[in-house]
């Protein structure tokens, strides 16, 4: 179902057409089996699978350590009734509804694998959920990923611009690079930079919250998308002459956007189920298929010349065909 983008009825019919009526469960049987799992056991299963995947490449020299990782939240649209649906959240446009999932992924010049998945439960107008505390999601994701690999740098978008997030990452002994929302204090600093005819500036700062405190820096560098200035927050020590080069590392975060596209368009089974266990299972399984694809691509590159780059040598469609050939052996 995940590999051909269909639901239970079509998936069962296609499989039985290829293998015969005696093979594969009925669609309803599949759903009943999935609903026997709770969310915690599904995520535990994903963690076990991730550990096995990483064990395959831990001896590969071309797998660089420590790793740079990216955190983000993706939404899977939902169009049904929201009554009694606490895991359904609103979308940024204010009109849509979606299930949301946070992920932590390896990015940069390395094998792009998703190391951890966390459901996101937000406060909405139709439920009594407490306000989302994103720093807790960050803590769980990073702790889980650190069980597998050492982490050098964490990249997040402006959605994670929060003193609590900064302190959480500092407490976990990882460096972070996060663009800041532009407020009055940042505008004032940018105006001063322009008056001084400078392009780059580094400003020292500190974080003081209930979880602790630490020193950090604000990096003012030319925007790569416009003529303006972008401001980054980091707990790494960066000199002004290094700031622009250092902030270019953030550009590798775009990989996670392509990752979400592949997960949702190449590997996610379709369903109209209101049961969150089904929704979580389908998303986690799609991520697992994505990881299998990227692991296969990595091993092919390692066997060929050891050169690693983001562009795959095997497409998602080709990987699907390989897996399908194992599920559906020739007569």
> Residue 22: is the preceding peptide bond cis (ω within 30°)?
no
Q: What is the pTM of this model?
A: 0.91
The residue ranges of every structural domain in the chain are 12-327
**How does pLDDT run along the chain (331 residues), one tens digit per residue?**
887 788 998 888 887 887 777 777 888 998 999 999 999 999 999 999 999 999 988 888 778 889 999 999 999 999 989 888 999 998 887 788 999 999 999 998 888 999 999 999 888 878 888 877 899 999 999 999 999 999 999 999 999 999 999 999 999 999 999 999 999 999 999 999 989 889 999 999 999 999 999 999 999 999 888 778 999 999 999 999 999 999 999 999 999 999 999 999 999 999 999 999 999 999 999 999 999 999 999 988 888 876 667 788 899 988 888 877 777 666 5
CA dihedral angle for residue 216, residue 121, residue 283, residue 82, rounded to 10 degrees = -150
DSSP letters spanning 236-273 = S---HHHHHHHHGGGGGGGHHHHHHHHHHHHSPPP---
CA atoms of 107 and 105, how far apart (whole Å): 6
Q: Is 12-327 a domain of CATH 1.10.40?
A: no
- Token pair recorded at residue 101: 């999932």
- Distance between CA 104 and CA 287 in Å, rounded? 11
Distance of CA 27 to the CA centre of its chain: 29
């Amino acid at each position: 179902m995940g590999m051909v983008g269909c639901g239970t009825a079509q998936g069962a019919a296609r499989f039985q057409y290829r293998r015969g009526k005696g093979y594969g469960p009925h669609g309803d049987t599949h759903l009943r089996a999935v609903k026997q799992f709770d969310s915690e056991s599904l995520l535990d299963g994903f963690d076990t699978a991730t550990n096995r995947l990483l064990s395959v490449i831990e001896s590969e020299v071309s797998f660089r350590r420590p790793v740079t990782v990216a955190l983000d939240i993706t939404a899977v649209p939902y169009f049904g009734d929201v009554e009694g649906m606490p895991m359904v959240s609103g979308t940024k446009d204010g009109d849509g509804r979606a299930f949301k999932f946070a992920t932590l992924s390896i990015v940069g010049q390395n094998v792009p694998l998703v190391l951890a998945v966390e459901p996101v439960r937000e406060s909405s107008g139709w439920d009594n959920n407490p306000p989302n505390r994103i720093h807790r999601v960050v803590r769980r994701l990073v702790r889980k990923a650190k069980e597998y690999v050492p982490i050098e740098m964490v990249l997040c978008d402006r959605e994670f611009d929060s003193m609590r997030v900064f302190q959480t990452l500092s407490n976990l002994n990882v460096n972070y690079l996060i663009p800041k929302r532009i407020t009055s204090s940042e505008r004032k600093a940018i105006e001063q930079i322009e008056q001084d005819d400078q392009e780059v500036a580094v400003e020292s700062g500190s974080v003081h919250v209930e979880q602790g405190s630490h020193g950090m820096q604000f990096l003012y560098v030319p925007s790569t998308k416009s003529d303006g200035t972008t401001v980054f927050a980091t707990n790494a020590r960066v000199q002004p002459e290094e700031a622009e080069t250092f902030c270019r590392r953030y550009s590798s975060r775009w990989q996670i956007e392509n990752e979400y596209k592949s997960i949702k368009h190449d590997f996610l089974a379709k369903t109209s189920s209101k049961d969150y266990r089904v929704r979580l299972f389908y998303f986690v399984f799609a991520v697992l298929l994505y990881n299998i694809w990227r692991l296969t691509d990595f091993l092919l590159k390692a066997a060929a010349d050891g050169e690693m780059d983001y562009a795959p040598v095997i497409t998602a469609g080709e990987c699907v065909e390989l897996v399908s050939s194992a599920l559906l052996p020739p007569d």
